[in-house]
Structure 1
Amino acid sequence: MAPRPLGPLVLAVGGAAAVLGSVLFVLWKAYCGRGRERRWGRGEARWGAEPARLPQWDEWDPEDEEEAVAAAAEPALEELEQREVLVLGLDGSGKSTFLRVLSGKPPLEGHIPTWGFNSVRLPTKDFEVDLLEIGGSQNLRFYWKEFVNEVDVLVFMVDSADRLRLPWARQELHKLLDKDPDLPVVVVANKQDLNEAMSMVELQQELGLQAVDSQREVFLLAASVAPAGPGFGNPGTVHIWKLLLELLS
């Protein structure tokens, strides 16, 4: 049977996806305004829910509160430096919820796929962290690789309970790893609170992380960004944020 020609609707959808990808790239380039500069040394990869070494959480010294208030009242001589973090993963893995929790917002009820991108800017004492999430639908995954070389760290979210689509997640992750061999990657095994969630050992094997170059910084952290129980300020999210601060410092 001869292949059927593409209908007008399919062509229109494909064209719209291409335009959307181009627009996303232009907007992100303008948003960042610079190329990536390395700020870390190579180290050994760390696996498991508890990293071997967590960075210390930087907090303001209470004794310096008055000085901080006075400094805030004066015009800044220069803006804080920016760090860029790209948050990717298949649709439904928890990327949008991760950004909401980091920004102090409660998770949304139900699954609402991202049909474009979301961004959050979080200030720290020494720099600002820009987190960009790009939708994980099949049409948008094609454009992921266009952003990898523009960021400092990649966060790849995985639904630990989605066994059926785990091979797709593995394929997309390794495409990104091949695109930039030096970019640090934090793989977040999300939804660990679900009964059907895969263990960290299983995920390490299924995602092929044991085959990654040992000289590359790859981290696998367990998390429940939006746990089924009450509250959303869970330790897993805090560990991710602390690790990001260490990599970006």
Structure 2
Amino acid sequence: MPGAREIGLVGAALALTGGVACAVCYLRRKTLEPEKTEKEGLNGDGSRGEHVHKVTKTDTALKKPVISEPRTAGTQVLVLGLDGAGKTSLLHCFATGSLEQDVCPTQGFNAISINKEELQIEFLEIGGTEKLRDYWRMYLCKARVLVFVVDSSDPERFPLAKRLLDQLLSADSCLPLVLLANKQDVPGARGITELYEALDLGNVGDGHRLSVIGTQMKKGKSGASAGVQDARDLIIEMMSDD
């Protein structure tokens, strides 16, 4: 359990702690252990370490992807959001711990796999342009956690983000949601309280475990910002829950 990051909501009341606001449902999604696909690496002392062992990126999505049979429980972290929200940069920071250079926006699909001790976590990002949004719901059946990224400095697109998010949550009534209010460092960015209200997250529904975290990118080798690290740690905990 994410512990102190989860705060119960009563009615419309919202409690904020640092950069994290979490709403916890009373129903939990039954999960299975993530599927192991590759041999994990070992540290010098024989213990299992953390590393990224697979990066796959497509530049286009002209062909309809092949969808496997739905699983009883997902094995992936599905990363979605409108184009320009910062999904690829966040995923890069999750994988490497920093953002050392500009990252090109994803025009198709972007996948990485991270090993954390005995746990393998698969992240799948799908681009947010209009032609790619049709693929979002196709991959919900494989998702164990949904990460939805919103550009908090672009309030004009909040209504569109809300509508698309509502469609995703309606398609899966128990899928855990981590909403990232990204670009908090940009002038005019809306805080997580404003974003929470704009996306009407109070009406998400009791079936969803909800967490809202403010994030921002900082370039260089000094490491990810606190919000990005919080989001990464929370996702790892959620994927490791039995």
TM-score of the superposition, structure 2-length normalised?
0.68
Q: Which structure has the larger Rg?
A: 1
1:162 corresponds to 2:141: no
**Root mean square deviation of aligned Cα:** 2.9
Structure 1 counterpart of 2:137? 145
Aligned equivalent of 2:196 = 204
Aligned to 1:183, which of 160, 171, 175? 175
Structure with the higher fraction of residues in helix conformation: 1
Q: 1:242 is matched with which residue?
A: 233
1:132 to 2:124 alignment: yes
Residue identity (%): 32
In the other structure, the counterpart of 1:90 is 82
- Answering whether residue 77 of structure 2 is matched by residue 68 of structure 1, we say no
> Counterparts in 2 of 1:21-60, with a 5 A limit?
44=8, 48=16, 49-50=19-20
Deviation by residue 1:60-119 (Cα, 9 ceiling, x = unmatched)? xxxx963428xxxxxxxxxxxx94100000001011001111121525437x33211101
Amino acid at match of 1:129: I
Offset from partner CA, 1:140-176 (integer Å, 9 cap, x none): 0111000011111000000000111111111111110
For 2:210 and 2:21, the matched residues in 1 are separated by: 11
- What is the total number of aligned residue pairs between the two structures? 185
* Letter aligned with residue 146 of structure 1: M
One-letter code of the match for 1:50?
A: V
Name structure 2 gaps, 5 residues minimum.
24-42, 49-73
Q: Which has the higher strand share?
A: 2
d(CA) in 2 for partners of 1:126, 1:86: 21
> What is the distance in 2 between the residues matched to 1:216 and 1:106?
31
Structure 1's unaligned 5+ residue stretches are 1-38, 54-63, 70-81
Q: Does 1:106 align with 2:106?
A: no
The TM-score with structure 1 as length reference comes to 0.66
Residue 118 of structure 1: aligned partner: 110
